[in-house]
């Protein structure tokens, strides 16, 4: 039989707003051929421009899926003993 000690600790999950972390990363995917635009940090316009250019070169490719990634971070909450531990 093994022994375990379980404890409750408060953790907080929130959007990562540290300096240098993008608010969002945007990419567009063609629904016809699945080609993708390059990723753009914090600005969806390059993906939109890519979609228009892609349709211009491939007139039958008119459907797209927007892929948006956001960064999240878990931090110790009040009273969590890991609050003193620095990563």
33 vs 82: which has the higher pLDDT: 33
pTM of the model: 0.73
Residue 44: predicted pLDDT: 94
DSSP-derived pairing of the beta strands 11-15 and 40-41: unpaired
Q: How many helices (H) and strands (E) does the chain have?
A: 1, 5
- Give pLDDT tens digits for 47-83: 999 999 999 999 999 999 999 999 999 999 888 888 7
Structure tokens at 21: 């972390």
Q: What does the pLDDT average to over 24-50?
A: 97
3 vs 57: which has the higher pLDDT: 57
C-alpha dihedral over 30, 31, 33, 38, to 10 degrees?
Answer: 20
Q: Specify the residue for token string 């890991």.
A: 82
């Amino acid at each position: 039989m093994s022994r375990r000690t379980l404890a409750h600790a408060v953790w907080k999950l929130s959007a990562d707003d540290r300096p240098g972390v993008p608010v969002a990363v945007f990419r567009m995917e063609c629904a016809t051929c699945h080609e993708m635009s390059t990723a753009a940090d914090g600005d969806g316009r390059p993906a939109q421009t890519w979609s228009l250019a892609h349709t211009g070169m491939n007139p039958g490719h008119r459907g797209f899926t927007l892929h948006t990634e956001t960064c999240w971070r878990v931090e110790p909450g009040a009273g969590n003993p890991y609050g003193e531990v620095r990563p």
